[in-house]
């Protein structure tokens, strides 16, 4: 049985969190002399002299409306990388607890585990890029606290089978994180609608991909209220700046435009895939549920260097498990995709 108290690190369970001036104030006021801000404001931008809302309620209300998830089940971070780190800090005792990843996958689960001195156990994906549930079963120990599932997966681009994820959610009593950074480009349904069924589920999404806002740094974690309270307890008090909250509020009103953009990117991905397959240097393009393609070349490092010389940077994944001779290519604008295809064609 999932029991958050027994899962939490003892020091976090006992932690008295920082209480900011704005946390303690409730009600109406017009004179704010409680937070040692500069009451005159900056000559550059007077209106940024106040600390931002520590819990970003207005932004969460918009996300809540779009995703149909209560605000108390939403956490906002400085990119998804912040909740990734906070989940380790909340649930994994350094030097003792363990987490599981399914490589090849997004690199930050491992980097964050190393930063937090948490043992990471790898259960490689099968050759069809799906989960090896048998190997997973033998990898789980009494110290396993978090399982990271990236779906659609980076760098392979595929969605992970829903039944396999459900099997893990139903049988593992620790935290199951589903990183859905690319879910908007996928035919796969988000697990956000399944939060009521799984108290151990954390769904990560981000404004960096479909929303087109990687530069503002806003990641979202959806989970039970109990898990979200733990993340809030541990996060830096003002982790999302005021300009970022303002930009996110504006962006979240533009869901229609975002949906159009998603369609545009998905259809560009389909065209790019068929154009790539016409090149004699391309051996395979893996099916993608994301905004990138994993492409197998006859000689990936030679192609990578050739593209670099033409001023085109792609991600060399050729040394990554199961991705031999693979380059991960983001779907670009129409003209970027044309430049890419021309450059590939010019490869001797
Ligand atoms: C699977 C996955 N999760 C998370 C991220 C990072 O997201 P963010 O920009 O919100 O930190 C990436 C970035 O490439 C990613 O591929």
Domains in the chain: ranges and CATH: 4-19+51-253 (3.40.640.10), 256-345 (3.90.1150.10)
Determine which residue's CA is closest to atom 7 belonging to ligand 1: 80
Q: Report the pocket of ligand 1 as residue ranges, CB < 6 Å.
A: 79-81, 106, 150, 154, 179, 181, 206, 208, 214, 219
Query: Over 80: is that where the pLDDT of 199 sits?
Result: yes
DSSP3 helix / strand / coil % (the chain, rounded to 5):
40, 15, 45
Buried b (16+ CB within 10 A) or exposed e, 28-64: eeeeeeeeeeeeeeeeeeeebeebbebbbeebbebbb
This prediction has a pTM of 0.97
Q: pLDDT tens across 213-268, in order? A: 999 999 999 999 999 999 999 999 999 999 999 999 999 999 999 999 999 999 99
Atom 6 of ligand 1, residue of closest alpha carbon: 80
Residue 233, C-beta contacts closer than 8 angstroms, at least 6 positions apart: 12, 15, 17, 90
| Residue 255 pLDDT | 94
User: What is the share, in percent, of the chain residues with pLDDT greater than 90?
Assistant: 95
What average pLDDT is seen over the chain? 97
Q: Among the residues of 45-107, which ranges form H helices?
A: 57-67, 81-91
Per DSSP, the three-state class of 219 is strand
Condensed to tens digits (0 to 9), the pLDDT of residues 58-71 reads: 999 999 999 999 99
pLDDT tens across 233-242, in order? 999 999 999 9
The count of C-alpha atoms lying within 13 angstroms of the C-alpha of 165, restricted to the half-sphere facing its C-beta, is: 25
Q: Which of 63, 83, 154 to mutate to test the pocket of ligand 1 (most atoms within 8 A of CB)?
A: 154
Nearest atom in ligand 1 to 77's CA: 10
Atom of ligand 1 nearest to the CA of 81: 11
Q: Alpha-carbon distance 50 to 36, whole Å?
A: 9
| Centroid of ligand 1 to alpha carbon of 119 (angstroms) | 21
pLDDT tens-digit series, residues 99-130:
999 999 999 999 999 999 999 999 999 999 99
pLDDT value of residue 246:
98
DSSP line for 228-241: HHHHHHHS-TT-S-
Mutate to test the pocket of ligand 1, among 101, 108, 288, 320 (most ligand atoms within 8 A of CB): 108
For 190, list phi and psi in degrees, rounded to 5: -70, 150
> Is the pLDDT confidence value at 312 over 90?
yes
Quote the ligand 1 centre to 26 CA distance (angstroms): 35
Of 189, 160, 184, the C-alpha closest to 266 is: 184
**pLDDT at residue 21 in the model:** 82
Residue 22 in this model has a pLDDT that exceeds 80:
no
For residue 10, pLDDT over 80 is answered with yes
């Amino acid at each position: 049985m999932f029991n958050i108290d027994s899962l939490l690190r003892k020091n976090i369970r006992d932690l008295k969190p920082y209480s900011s001036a704005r946390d303690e104030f409730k009600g109406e006021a017009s004179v704010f002399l409680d937070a040692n801000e500069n009451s005159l404001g900056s000559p550059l931008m007077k209106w940024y002299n106040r600390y931002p809302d520590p819990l970003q309620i207005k932004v969460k209300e918009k996300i809540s409306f779009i995703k149909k998830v209560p605000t108390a089940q939403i956490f906002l971070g400085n990119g998804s990388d912040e909740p990734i780190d906070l989940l380790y800090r909340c649930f994994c005792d350094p030097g003792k607890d363990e987490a599981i990843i399914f490589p090849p996958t997004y690199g930050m689960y491992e980097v964050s585990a190393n930063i937090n001195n948490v043992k990471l156990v790898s259960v490689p994906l099968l050759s069809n890029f799906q989960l090896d549930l048998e190997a997973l079963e033998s990898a789980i120990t009494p110290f396993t606290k978090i399982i990271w599932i990236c779906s659609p997966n980076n760098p392979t681009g595929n969605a992970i089978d829903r039944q396999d994820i459900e099997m893990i959610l139903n049988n593992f009593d620790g935290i199951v994180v589903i990183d859905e950074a690319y879910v908007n480009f996928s035919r796969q349904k988000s697990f956000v609608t399944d939060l009521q069924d799984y108290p151990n589920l954390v769904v990560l999404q981000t404004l960096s991909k479909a929303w087109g806002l990687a530069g503002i740094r806003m990641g979202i974690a959806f989970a039970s209220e109990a898990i979200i309270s733990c993340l809030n307890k541990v996060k830096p008090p003002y982790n999302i700046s005021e300009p970022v909250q303002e930009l996110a509020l504006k962006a979240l009103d533009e869901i229609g435009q975002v949906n159009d953009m998603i369609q545009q990117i998905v259809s560009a991905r389909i065209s790019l895939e068929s154009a790539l397959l016409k090149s004699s240097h391309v051996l395979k393009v893996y099916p993608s549920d994301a905004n990138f393609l994993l492409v197998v070349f006859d000689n990936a490092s030679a192609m990578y260097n050739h593209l670099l010389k033409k001023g085109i940077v792609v991600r060399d994944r050729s040394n990554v498990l199961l991705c031999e001779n693979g380059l991960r290519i983001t779907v670009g604008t129409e003209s970027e995709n044309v430049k890419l295809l021309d450059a590939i064609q010019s490869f001797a």
